[in-house]
């Protein structure tokens, strides 16, 4: 079956949770040695796979690569065509497809009829596989869109300011403690500290210090929806915070730290 060259098998499943045994059994029954079978546990969306790369570097002119089915080689239409031609035309090897013997080719450049028939069938089958992949993606998009319409929330949860941070905000608002001392007490970065301060100040900035002390926070405070870029300058050397200028945006190397803030309607 393999002429003067050697036979090598290639098997692939998308994940390690999937079973590759059926492919390995079929390859061995075809006469392949276990040491000549290369296996990948990766998606077929491209050919950047370790075992496949080793196989391509191993084969020589006159060898045969055996696969269980065309989709084990890959799933991307154009990539399959390119790899097929690399193996059969550039390297000069044959490919045998166990589930579709009509596709079998020897890699012999003189076998023009076989190569013509193989290329024609291959393009049809590869197109079908690629078209199915596109259909799957389209169905996924439609499913996500329908889920969002039902109110299903995708993505990571919105960040929240822990309710325990409120006491630091009160001390910052009343001026009881120097800002940098508060930063040290919280154990967080200056950027995070001032981002939380700024968010709370957007909501409670018009309240007097006495009124702020009266407010009781019983649950974490979610950040508002982020729609506007702003920055909080680094505090002065003595720890006194600089007043942000919303109309001026400085790069980080000039003392500005960019964050995303939202103006709150206090009307």
Provide, for the chain, the percentages of residues in helix, strand and coil under a 3-state DSSP scheme, each rounded to the nearest 5: 45, 15, 40
Q: Which two tokens stand for residue 46?
A: 């491209």
CA–CA distance from 103 to each of 12, 68, 209 (Å)? 19, 12, 81
Distance CA 230, CA 249 (A): 7
Residue-wise burial string across 116-140, b where 16 or more C-beta atoms lie within 10 A, e elsewhere: eebbeebeebbeebbeebeeeeeee
In the residue annotation, 14 being an active-site residue is answered as yes
Contact in structure between 201 and 209 (CB atoms under 8 Å) = no
Q: Tell me whether strands 221-222 and 160-161 are parallel, antiparallel or unpaired.
A: antiparallel
Per annotation, catalytic residue among 2, 14, 39, 69: 14
Helices (H), 32-111: 50-58, 70-73, 77-85
Name the nearest CA neighbour of 262 among 222, 233, 234.
Answer: 222
Q: Which two tokens stand for residue 159?
A: 């960040």
Which residues are annotated as catalytic? 14
């Amino acid at each position: 079956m393999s002429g003067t060259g050697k036979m090598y098998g290639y098997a692939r499943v998308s994940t390690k949770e999937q079973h590759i045994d059926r492919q390995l059994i079929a390859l061995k029954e075809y006469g392949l040695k276990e040491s000549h079978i290369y296996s990948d546990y990766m998606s077929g969306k491209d050919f950047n796979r370790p075992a496949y790369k080793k196989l391509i570097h191993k084969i020589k002119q006159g060898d045969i690569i055996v696969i269980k089915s065309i989709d084990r080689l890959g799933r991307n239409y154009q990539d399959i065509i390119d790899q097929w031609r690399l193996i059969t035309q550039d390297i000069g090897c044959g490919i045998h497809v166990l589930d579709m013997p009509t596709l079998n080719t020897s890699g012999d450049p003189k076998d023009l009829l076989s190569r013509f028939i193989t290329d024609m069938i291959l393009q049809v089958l590869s197109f079908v596989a690629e078209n199915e992949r596109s259909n799957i993606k389209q169905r996924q998009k439609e499913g996500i869109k329908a889920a969002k319409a039902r109110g299903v929330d995708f993505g990571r949860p919105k960040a929240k300011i822990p309710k325990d941070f409120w006491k630091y905000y009160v001390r910052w608002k009343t001026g009881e403690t120097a800002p940098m001392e508060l930063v040290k007490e919280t154990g967080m970065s200056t950027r995070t500290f001032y981002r939380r301060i700024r968010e709370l100040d957007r909501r409670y900035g018009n309240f007097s210090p006495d009124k702020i002390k009266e407010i009781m926070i019983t649950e974490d405070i979610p950040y508002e929806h982020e729609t506007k870029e702003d920055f909080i300058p680094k505090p002065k050397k003595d720890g006194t915070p600089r007043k942000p200028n919303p109309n001026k945006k400085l790069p980080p190397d000039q003392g500005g730290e960019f964050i995303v803030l939202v103006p709150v309607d206090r009307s």
